[in-house]
Amino acid sequence: MQAGDFHFYDIATIAPLIESGHTVLTPTARLARRIKTEWDRRQSQAGLRSWAPAPVMALETWLMGRWEDAVAAGRVPAHIVLDAAREQELWLQVITDEMAGAAEYSLLQPGAAAQLAAATREDLLRWQVDMDSQAVQADFRLDPDCGAFLRWQMHLQRRLRAEGLETRAGCLRDLARVEAVTTTPVALLAFDDIPPLYRRCLERLAEPCITVLVPGQAVSIEPRSYADRASELAAIARWARLRVKAEPDTTIGIVLTDMPVSYTHLTLPTIC
């Protein structure tokens, strides 16, 4: 179902959904916070002294809340949910153990491999790739690197089961397997795509589920060149500073191909 026109942060287009009892779900927590801020400003400008917070949150956050409800009701298994740091630490332990027993390969950066493996498993779960399938495992074994990941993943799975642990995507996999007792009216806002696992959970938990369309806007692209990377980052920072100074409530997106390296330089006050 499609509904309405939407302009980013124009709360007037979202307010009717909130007032009609819909929970508004967004791709990111940042967008949810921005909409909540606009909702609070709208209520304050209307002269209200108190009001209910807007039911706006990131999709994964909302789904994890429904998983917690299902655990409390005894409908899905309870797990200790790993945060990103603990998950990566567990992957590193698994990879280190596997390397100790395998003479055919070694890794120069096992920490980076652990980070990549953790992200890969979450993506496989979100896209509902059945790693217990013999056919899928056979495909992974065709490539040495994929075969190594398969061994790590199987080792990790044994650890998770033995210690009662799970990742967020693993919890939502359990949630997608059970029927919902109650459903919630939901509005999906500004999504380009939703992984099949999340879509399956929504099919069970959200009724009705409305998609709020975000109309495209014409943009202009202006190529520029700079003598070096430092000059380019300085120009980006100055441009962003001027935009924010002119429009304090504006939101700016800066995409860098080497974000971990360049981010610190981009935020240094000396280049502004």
Question: CA 70, 75, 79, 80 torsion: positive or negative?
Answer: positive
| pLDDT recorded at residue 192 | 87
φ, ψ at 182 (rounded to 5°): -130, 160
φ, ψ at 57 (rounded to 5°): -160, 165
| pLDDT recorded at residue 148 | 92
| pLDDT recorded at residue 222 | 87
Per-residue model confidence as pLDDT tens digits over 98-130: 888 765 667 778 899 999 999 999 999 999 999
* CA 88 vs CA 83, 92, 107, 113, 132: distances in Å: 9, 6, 16, 9, 22
- pLDDT, averaged per 10 consecutive residues of the chain (272 residues), comes to 49 89 95 92 93 96 97 96 96 91 73 94 97 97 94 96 97 95 93 95 96 75 88 88 85 75 58 43
Per-residue model confidence as pLDDT tens digits over 250-260: 778 888 777 66
pTM of the model: 0.81
Dihedral of the alpha carbons of 252, 253, 259, 264, in degrees to the nearest 10? 0
| pLDDT recorded at residue 237 | 86
| pLDDT recorded at residue 221 | 84
Average pLDDT, the chain: 88
DSSP code string of the chain: -EE----TT-HHHHHHHHHTTPEEEESSHHHHHHHHHHHHHHHHHTT-S--PPP-EEEHHHHHHHHHHHHHHTTSS---EEPPHHHHHHHHHHHHHHHHHT-SS---S-HHHHHHHHHHHHHHHHHTT--TT-HHHHHHHTTSHHHHHHHHHHHHHHHHHHHHTEE-HHHHHHHHTTS--SS-EEEEEES-S---HHHHHHHHHHEEEEEEEP-------------SSHHHHHHHHHHHHHHHHHH-TT-------TTHHHHHHHHH-GGG-
| pLDDT recorded at residue 247 | 86
